[in-house]
Amino acid sequence: MEAPAQTDYSFPNQSSVYNGKVRDVYGIGEDLLIMVASDRISAFDVILPKGIPGKGAMLNLIAGKFLEATSDICPNWLMATPAANVAVGHRCEPFMVEMVIRGYLTGHAWREYKSGQRVLCGVSMPDGMKEHDRFPEPIITPATKAEEGHDEDISREDILAQGIVPAAHYLKMEEYTRALFQRGTEMADEKGLILVDTKYEFGLKDGAVMLMDEIHTPDSSRYFYSDGYEERQANGEVQKQLSKEFVREWLIENGFQGKEGQSVPEMTPDRVEMIASRYRELYEKITGEAFDRSAESLSKEEIENRTAEYLKTL
């Protein structure tokens, strides 16, 4: 069954629709949002031509699990998950900053470090580190949320000086970010994983800072396997990762990095199934539960009906 590229639902009291790269967001009246995690997959800010069966459900269920497990740390937007790929929650006024937190010198931080930089988003990084080394303590490296194109690094000082986020709210976001990352690290450790880095998005609801969107999913976070991490690091070997990095690596190997004039390589049925099987592996490792593949075959009518029945309870 081919994964649909676009969702087209109709919910009671629907007031707006926004199609993101992966999620479609339906406004319900003035106070609620329905976020549908589609099976679309993106890389290098490009939506790939074929969806991945079950991917939306898997990411939505992972996010729901972590939002529930961290609700004692800070309030979050989620109210219910009436279908595997559907989340219903509070509409917030988003802050235009993503809170990126890094426990390890990996990815963008490593690329900056390798080029000679020792300050990232106003935060100092120690000399003498190797790729994938652990920071003495996690660092917060915020990014502006771009409407189009790439997000840009920004320091705490510039966020406050430019008035992008009021100081009291920003300090609360930092406090929540560190506490959420600590909880995520502990939960990952229980599954034999290392939470390397991740990002959180926050908004304002009734004057309070609230956690929004997904958290600790393989699309928003990077994980390493704990077993063998120290040995691989000591020997200068590549770390075993649990993220969608394997999709980016396949694209790069086939000459695609989202640049002008480049074409996405053919996504054969075998390639789509390989990516889907890797996402199931990610899901099952992170949650410790088998993925119920019946979620892949829910019809549009079933999803609309389940969501409408939940909305009636409010």
The model's confidence at residue 302, banded by pLDDT at 50, 70 and 90, is very high
Q: Which residues pair with 47 in a beta bridge?
A: 42
Q: Give the Cα-Cα-Cα angle 273, 274, 280 (nearest 5 degrees).
A: 85
Q: Detail the DSSP E strand segments found in the chain.
A: 14-19, 23-28, 32-37, 42-43, 46-47, 78-83, 86-90, 93-104, 119-120, 123-124, 134-140, 143-144, 152-153, 193-205, 208-212, 221-225, 241-242
CA distance 198 to 184: 10
Question: How far is residue 65 from each of residues 152, 174, 262, 287, measured CA to CA in Å?
Answer: 29, 22, 38, 8
Question: How far is residue 72 from each of residues 46, 208, 211, 270, measured CA to CA in Å?
Answer: 36, 15, 12, 42
The model's confidence at residue 146, banded by pLDDT at 50, 70 and 90, is low
Residue 111: partners with Cβ closer than 8 Å, 6 or more residues away: none
CA distance 19 to 167: 31
Q: Do the domains at 14-92+268-312 and 93-242 have one common CATH topology?
A: no
Q: Which residues pair with 224 in a beta bridge?
A: 194, 241
CB-CB contact of 18 with 36 (8 Å): no
Span 14-92+268-312: which CATH code? Answer: 3.30.200.20
The model's confidence at residue 283, banded by pLDDT at 50, 70 and 90, is very high
Model-level pTM? 0.91
Q: What are the φ and ψ backbone dihedral angles of 233, each rounded to 5 degrees?
A: -65, -45
Span 93-242: which CATH code? Answer: 3.30.470.20
Measured in whole angstroms, how far is the alpha carbon of residue 175 from the centre of its chain? Answer: 19
Question: How far is residue 90 from each of residues 87, 96, 147, measured CA to CA in Å?
Answer: 10, 18, 21
Give yes or no for residue 245 having a pLDDT over 60.
yes
Q: Write the burial class of residue 99 (CB in 10 Å: 0-12 exposed, 13-18 middle, 19+ buried).
A: buried
CA distance 200 to 152: 15
pLDDT in tens, 202-214: 999 999 999 999 9
What integer is the mean pLDDT of 118-139? 97
What integer is the mean pLDDT of 290-302? 89
Among 134-143, 158-167, 290-299, where is mean pLDDT lowest?
Answer: 290-299
Residue whose tokens read 């069954």: 1
Among 28-42, 99-113, 140-154, 177-191, where is mean pLDDT lowest?
Answer: 140-154
3-state SS assignment for residue 169: helix
Question: How far is residue 87 from each of residues 12, 32, 60, measured CA to CA in Å?
Answer: 15, 11, 7
Q: What are the residue ranges spanned by the domains of the chain?
A: 14-92+268-312, 93-242
CB-CB contact of 221 with 197 (8 Å): yes
CA distance 211 to 90: 10
Residue 1: predicted pLDDT: 43
What integer is the mean pLDDT of 173-202? 97
